[in-house]
Amino acid sequence: MTNSTEITPVMYRMMPWIAAMAFFMQTLDTSILNTALPSMAVYLNESPLNMQSAVISYALTLALFIPVSGFLADRFGTQRVFTFSVFLFTLGSLFCALSNTLFMLDVSRVVQGVGGAMMMPVSRLTLIKSFKRSEFLAALNASTMPGLIGPVVGPVLGGYLVEVATWHWIFLINIPIGIIGIIMGIKYMPNIKGNIKPFDGLGFGFIALCVISLTLSLEFISEGLAGRYSLMLFAAGMILLGLYIYRAKRIEYPLFPLGLFSIRTFRIGIIGNLVSRLGISAIPLLIPLLLQVAFSYSSTYSGLILMPMAIASLTMKTLVQPILRRFGYRRVLLVNTMLVGLMIMSLSQLTQQTPIIVICGILFCVGFVNSLQFTSMNSITLADLEGENTSSGNSLMAVNQQLAISFGVAFGAVLITLLSEPSTVIPHNVDSAFEISFIILGLVTFFSSIIFTRLTPKDGQNLTIRNRS
């Protein structure tokens, strides 16, 4: 491997494409899985409504290991860590394809997640350290655009592979891409090291155990183990969080500096991200289940129906900045959060008799407002960060997003499970379970808009002015 930090002209041309390949692998893997889950459940002898752990285990692993990626890159070099992370992601994909139980699949997804947690952050870190500020935005855009294709083709490709081959191929297709990524990383990525700060291992342990405890407290409810087990795990999570805060106040280099939360826009953005995504994050899991389990659509057909949501998300990317410049962050986040909630609630009105054009239209609107929501929340979170806070704040935001996905998927699974059981006040009816779940998730999202009332009309102006120039 190259240990030199000398960057050749060929490396400059290839680095954005290497980052793009990593981003594409991640987005394709995430979007392709949801469509295939019902078919995978049949093979693994599981209920389709009990497959959320395959999503949660990956998202949770991403959340836990993203903070480690920067430290490892500084210690061992960007090239070594990147190629190792792609190797782990590819190996995890192979293990997923070989899994014959849900437990084995979950373990394999953890291996995938460890690789994925380092793959994207390290490739972007390499771009930051290699390109001049004047050239960085162009390099970042070049690395991002191919990855946006993943959510568009993922649902259709997943449905198609499940029908014409087997679900195993949704993971096997990662292997040739991963091998190319490893070769390109070895050949064209510089091995840049950085200043090594002490790693807060104990703090990392507190945060990791806290997150696992809180997620399992929801998982136990969805598996019928509600009661004292869930409460004990929730209490343990809160105690561990308290221990981390106590420690972070007393050491020089905590995993996440508590001073970040003294920045008002960051604090509002982080809390808003977490709460509003509780409802939003369950939707990519529940919609394929609705279409295939409740409506009995084929995998390929449901994948095609999901395409408008991804296309709308891409379309909104070109409109976000003009909208924010015209209306400001406070107004956009207040109104759009409520719109997202209403669109989620509108999914409760879908039935097997609903015309396909109507379903596609609603999903297009869901993708449209979701894309505006994510971009607005992410940018306002980072708006007022400066200096060293930028790196740690960006890392914490990425962790927060993955935690929100884990909690949101677990929350959605809990609702579907509880509302499908005949022992509840709701009749034993899968259609009713989806209908009420969408209403509850929509209401949670709708009322999360209250968080953004703490923003002022001037918040985020530095971003819109910067983009105007």
From the list 154, 196, 197, 142, the residue with the least C-alpha distance to 32 is: 154
Q: Is 465's pLDDT higher than 60?
A: no
Q: Is 299's pLDDT higher than 90?
A: no
What architecture is domain 263-469?
Up-down Bundle (1.20)
CATH superfamily membership of 1-198? MFS general substrate transporter like domains (1.20.1250.20)
| pLDDT score, position 255 | 82
Query: Given pLDDT bands bounded at 50, 70 and 90, which one contains residue 388?
Result: low
Share of the chain above pLDDT 70, in %: 89
Q: Is 129's pLDDT higher than 90?
A: no
Helices (H) and strands (E) in the chain — how many of each?
Answer: 19, 0
| pLDDT score, position 318 | 79
| pLDDT score, position 332 | 93
H or E, element range at 315: helix 299-317
| pLDDT score, position 322 | 87
Which stretches of 168-298 are DSSP H helices?
169-172, 174-188, 201-222, 228-248, 264-280, 283-289
| pLDDT score, position 387 | 66
The average pLDDT across 60-69 equals 85
The average pLDDT across 391-419 equals 83
Query: Given pLDDT bands bounded at 50, 70 and 90, which one contains residue 1?
Result: very low
Three-state secondary structure readout of the chain: CCCCCCCCHHHHHHHHHHHHHHHHHHHHHHHHHHHHHHHHHHHCCCCHHHCCHHHHHHHHHHHHHHHHHHHHHHHHCHHHHHHHHHHHHHHHHHHHHHCCCHHHHHHHHHHHHHHHHHHHHHHHHHHHHHCCHHHHHHHHHHHHHHHHHHHHHHHHHHHHHHHHCCCCHHHHCHHHHHHHHHHHHHHHCCCCCCCCCCCCHHHHHHHHHHHHHHHHHHHHHHCCCCCHHHHHHHHHHHHHHHHHHHHHCCCCCCCCCHHHHHCHHHHHHHHHHHHHHHHHCCHHHHHHHHHHHHCCCCHHHHHHHHHHHHHHHHHHHCCHHHHHHHHCHHHHHHHHHHHHHHHHHHHHHCCCCCCHHHHHHHHHHHHHHHHHHHHHHHHHHHCCCCCHHHHHHHHHHHHHHHHHHHHHHHHHHHHHHHHHCCCCCCCCCHHHHHHHHHHHHHHHHHHHHHHHHHCCCCCCHHHHHHHHC
Query: Given pLDDT bands bounded at 50, 70 and 90, which one contains residue 183?
Result: very high
| pLDDT score, position 23 | 83
Q: Which amino acid is at 121?
A: P
| pLDDT score, position 32 | 83
Q: How far apart are CA 16 and CA 144, in angstroms?
A: 9
| pLDDT score, position 239 | 94
| pLDDT score, position 236 | 92
> With a threshold of 0.95, does the pTM exceed it?
no
Highest mean pLDDT among 217-226, 372-381, 388-397: 372-381
**CB of 156 within 8 A of CB of 307?**
yes
Q: How many Cβ atoms are within 10 Å of 170's Cβ, its own excluded?
A: 27
| pLDDT score, position 464 | 58
| pLDDT score, position 467 | 43
Q: How far apart are CA 147 and CA 26, in angstroms?
A: 8
Query: Given pLDDT bands bounded at 50, 70 and 90, which one contains residue 337?
Result: very high
The average pLDDT across 92-113 equals 93
Q: How far apart are CA 99 and CA 10, in angstroms?
A: 40
| pLDDT score, position 229 | 76
Highest mean pLDDT among 300-304, 367-371, 418-422, 455-459: 367-371
| pLDDT score, position 469 | 31
Length reported for the chain: 469
Q: Which residue has the tokens 């505006």?
A: 372
The average pLDDT across 326-348 equals 93
Residue-wise pLDDT for 218-243, tens only, equals: 777 655 555 677 788 889 989 999 99
Helix axes 133-144, 102-130, angle to 10 degrees: 150
Do 263-469 and 1-198 fall under one CATH topology? Answer: yes
| pLDDT score, position 62 | 86
- For 24, residues 6+ apart whose C-beta sits below 8 A from its C-beta are 146, 147, 149, 150, 177
Q: Could you state, in order of their start, the residue ranges of all structural domains in the chain?
A: 1-198, 201-252, 263-469
Residue-wise pLDDT for 16-55, tens only, equals: 888 888 888 888 887 888 888 888 888 888 888 778 888 8
Q: How many Cβ atoms are within 10 Å of 237's Cβ, its own excluded?
A: 19
Q: How far apart are CA 139 and CA 459, in angstroms?
A: 28
147-156, 207-216, 293-302, 403-412: lowest mean pLDDT where? 147-156
Share of the chain above pLDDT 90, in %: 25
Q: Is 289's pLDDT higher than 90?
A: no
What is the average pLDDT value for the chain, to the nearest integer? 84
Q: How far apart are CA 250 and CA 347, in angstroms?
A: 48
| pLDDT score, position 223 | 58
- For 9, residues 6+ apart whose C-beta sits below 8 A from its C-beta are none
| pLDDT score, position 450 | 94
